[in-house]
Amino acid sequence: MTLDSRLRDVERRLAEACARSGRKREDVTVIAVTKYVSAQTAAEAVGAGVRQIGENRWPDAKDKWELLKGQAVFHYIGSLQTNKAKDVVGRFDYIHSLDRLPLAEAIQKKASALGIEVPCLIQVNVSGEESKHGLPPEQVPEFLGGLRAFPAVKPIGLMTMAPHEEDPERTRPVFRGLRELRDELNRIGLTDVPLRELSMGMSNDFEVAVEEGATWVRLGTVLVGKENREG
């Protein structure tokens, strides 16, 4: 499949998922996850109209960032070690994997040195799988309280990863759980600005995520493909 045909196919599936769930297509933004492909392929995707790029390690993202900064919005979607925050802050426009206060502190430190604010999503482990990063849902309210000590760290939404399921329908409770958590947090009013974004859904399950309210889907394989790369 060519890049163009994959882009068209994803677009059609997104439009159908939006139609099924009474959502507007423009309320869902696609992040092209380029971690499996070369900088050249990432550049082709940008040439074909992709405007959001997701990467999950700085060393792998570096080439793409240097080539494409200014042409695309960069999302850091992988788990982030505290001592690596300084590589990411100032380069990536959004961090999707905030899940502990020491990391918030490291983001704050670099952001205040640069005089910027960093919009972040709080990663939540809705499924309870041990292998998954993220806060248990019940700890998110307290975590949001703790974030007030770090004014350059701006929570704008929630992110989750669903377990891989053969039948994507089985991921629905996870995505619904994240939406309900966001709505509940907004009802309590723990943030100055209501949390808006729901970063959820990947190649295997994005249609279900859209039906459950995803505002950002993170698409690698299905959108930009997978190349054999070393490392």
Ligand X SMILES: *Cc1c(COP(=O)(O)O)cnc(C)c1O
Residue 126, interface with ligand X (CB under 6 A)? no
Residue 6, interface with ligand X (CB under 6 A)? no
To ligand X, the closest distance from the beta carbon of 65 in angstroms equals 16
Residue 112, interface with ligand X (CB under 6 A)? no
Q: What gap in Å lies between CA 64 and CA 53, rounded to an integer?
A: 9
Q: How many CB atoms lie within 10 A of CB 156?
A: 18
To ligand X, the closest distance from the beta carbon of 78 in angstroms equals 5
Token duo for residue 212: 């459950």
Residue 178, interface with ligand X (CB under 6 A)? no
Residue 18, interface with ligand X (CB under 6 A)? no
To ligand X, the closest distance from the beta carbon of 51 in angstroms equals 17
Q: Which is nearer to ligand X, 33 or 147 (CB)?
A: 33
Token duo for residue 202: 């990947």
Residue 7, interface with ligand X (CB under 6 A)? no
Q: How many CB atoms lie within 10 A of CB 74?
A: 20
To ligand X, the closest distance from the beta carbon of 220 in angstroms equals 3
Q: What gap in Å lies between CA 187 and CA 112, rounded to an integer?
A: 30
To ligand X, the closest distance from the beta carbon of 225 in angstroms equals 9
Q: Which is nearer to ligand X, 29 or 204 (CB)?
A: 204
Q: Is the distance from CB of 46 to CB of 60 less than 8 angstroms? A: no
Residue 29, interface with ligand X (CB under 6 A)? no
Q: What gap in Å lies between CA 29 and CA 130, rounded to an integer?
A: 29
Interactions with ligand X, residue window 148-167 (CB under 6 A): 161
Query: Which residues are CB-neighbours of 64 under 8 A, at least 6 positions away?
Result: 34, 39, 42, 43, 53, 55
Residue 77, interface with ligand X (CB under 6 A)? yes
- Per CB under 6 A, which region of 44-52, 64-72, 129-137, 196-204 contacts ligand X? 196-204
Please select the residue that binds ligand X; options are 48, 62, 221, 225, rule is CB under 6 A.
221
Q: Kind and range of the H or E element at 156?
A: strand 153-159
Q: Which residues pair with 119 in a beta bridge?
A: 154
The footprint of ligand X on this chain (CB under 6 A) covers a number of residues equal to 14
Residues 171-202 as b/e (b if ≥16 CB within 10 A, e otherwise) read bbebbbbbbebbeebeeeebbeeebebbbbbb
Interface ranges with ligand X (CB under 6 A): 33, 35, 56, 77-78, 161, 202-204, 218-222
